Each structure stands twice: as structure tokens, then as C-alpha cells.
Amino acid sequence: QGSVADAVIGVPSYFSDFQRTALLDAARISGLNVLRVMNEHTATALEYGYFRTNNFDPEKPQTVAFCQMGHASFSVAIVQFVRGRLSVVCERSDKVGGRDMDECLIRIFAKQFQKKTGCDVLSNKKALFKLEDAVTKTKKILSANSESSISCECLMEDEDFGSSVNRADFEEMCKPMMKKVSDVLEAAKAASGIPVSSIDSVEVCGGASRVPWFKDMCSKAFGGKELSTTMNADECVARGCALQAAI
């Protein structure tokens, strides 16, 4: 592996100047030469448009809504593309993501384990880490199946844990998250001033974007449009930053 010469770092749009400066300081201390700090939604749009630029009209813009659900934040960016150029019309975000989904499952399973054994998983870091790892797998299974089981050997004090959860119960746990997601979607549509009928494509991305209720909400918010998943959901920001570094 070669050494990293230059880097572009992606950050959430809500990062303050202080946070961006702190990130730059940390990068310099680690020996990275940072060319620039880039908003994540801009990096995603660049990765989307760079290899499609010849498909865009030179004058008539193509409008794309990017719904990005990451580990800790959700953002919606409305971006317009013409050949050789992109323009971010608006972006709205909130601190809600896959981490919150994990915590919903962790709380319910920790409560079940405590009721069965009297042990509080939330007070033991090692046990909590084990449960978090198992919950992440359970969440992924629920994205493709209506029910999932969970199993942790020796979770705490030599006690094993096993349980199951169905998608309907999981979605009920996520109701507070759904409200935040809905608010961000509506705020982005209002801020753009662009009719839903004029949105050409809705692209979902981000590590937590595979969850069915999230995809349903994004589709309904934009008039029932079929969602596009043409990008690498996990790497779109990193790829956009890499492209910016190379330009």
C-alpha cells in the first residue's frame, strides 16, 4: 500500500466552522495534507454526476433528490445537473440515523435480558458491545425479512441471550425517527421551491438507507416515484471526495 499524499474530507453540512477547523487540525496532526473539507451531500452529487455528465443536457437541468441516511444523520439534497456542472438547490438534515435504529433494538433486548436474568447490559460496556454487534446484524436481516432472531452467547455473567423481533414491531419502535425523517423531507421540498412532478429522480444512499420504512417514506414524499439505487450506498461520499481530490 502506498502513502496517502492528499485528501479531501467529507463532513455533514451542519458542522460548524469550529468543528471543521478541529477536523483539519486532527488531520494535520495525523500527517494528512487536506486539500479541502467538503459537505457530504456535495460529494455524493459529484460522484453521481461525474460519470453521467454526457447524459445531461447542456442547458435544461436534470433535478435529482438525494436522500442520504447514514449512521448518525439524515439529509435530503435537491441538486440540478447540466453537462459539466452541478448546483445544490437546497439541503436539509437532522441528527437521526442508523444508530438510532440500533438503539431502539438495544433497549428492548436489554430490557428482556434484565427481566430474564436480572443483569443490566446497559451498565456493562463489554456486554453492551456484544449486544450492539448482534443488533446491527438483526437490523440488516429485518431489511430483507419480516422477522429476525438474535443470539448472544455469554452476553453477561455467563448468561446466554436469545430472542426475536418482527419488522412491524421494529417499525413501531422507530416511530419517533419517522417523524424527524418526514420533517426533513418536507423541509427540503419546501426550500427547493421545485414541484415534486419536476423531480426527475430520487436517489437513496447511505449505510442505513436499505431499511424498508425509510425507502417507503422517501418514495411517498416525492409522489410515489420509484427510487433509484444506482450508487454504492456505503461509499458514495468517499468516492465523491476522492474524485474532488483528483480533479
Segment 72-129, tens digit of pLDDT: 999 999 999 999 999 999 999 999 999 999 999 999 999 999 999 999 999 999 999 9
Residues of the chain above pLDDT 90, percent:
95
Would you place residue 217 in the very low, low, confident or very high pLDDT band (cuts 50, 70, 90)? very high
Domain ranges of the chain: 58-232
- Distance, CA of 158 to CA of 3 (rounded, Å): 45
pLDDT for res 2? 67
Q: With 0-12 CB in 10 A as exposed, 13-18 as middle and 19+ as buried, what is 161?
A: buried
Q: Work out the average pLDDT over 201-222.
A: 97
Residues 6+ apart with CB under 8 A from 42: 77, 88, 240
183, amino acid identity: D
Tell me the three state secondary structure of residue 222: coil
Q: Work out the average pLDDT over 7-12.
A: 95
Q: Report the DSSP beta bridge partners of residue 94.
A: 74
pLDDT for res 239? 97
Q: Work out the average pLDDT over 212-227.
A: 97
Other Cβ atoms less than 10 A from the Cβ of 79: the count is: 25
Count of residues for the chain? Answer: 247
Handedness of CA 240, 76, 216, 106 (dihedral sign): positive
What does the block give as the cell for 153? 452467547
Asked if pLDDT for residue 136 goes beyond 90, the answer is yes
CA distances from 48 to 8, 114, 139 (A): 17, 47, 27
Helix (H) / strand (E) containing 187: helix 175-192
- Distance, CA of 167 to CA of 153 (rounded, Å): 24
Nearest Cα to Cα of residue 149 among 117, 121, 109: 109
Q: Work out the average pLDDT over 168-194.
A: 97
Q: Are 163 and 27 in contact (CB under 8 A)?
A: no
Return the CATH architecture of domain 58-232. Answer: Alpha-Beta Complex (3.90)
pTM of the model: 0.92
What's the chain's average pLDDT? 95
Q: Are 59 and 86 in contact (CB under 8 A)?
A: no
pLDDT for res 1? 60
pLDDT for res 247? 87
138, amino acid identity: T
Q: Where are the beta strands (DSSP E) in 83-131?
A: 85-94
Q: Work out the average pLDDT over 145-166.
A: 95
pLDDT for res 5? 77
pLDDT for res 3? 77
Segment 22-34, tens digit of pLDDT: 999 999 999 999 9
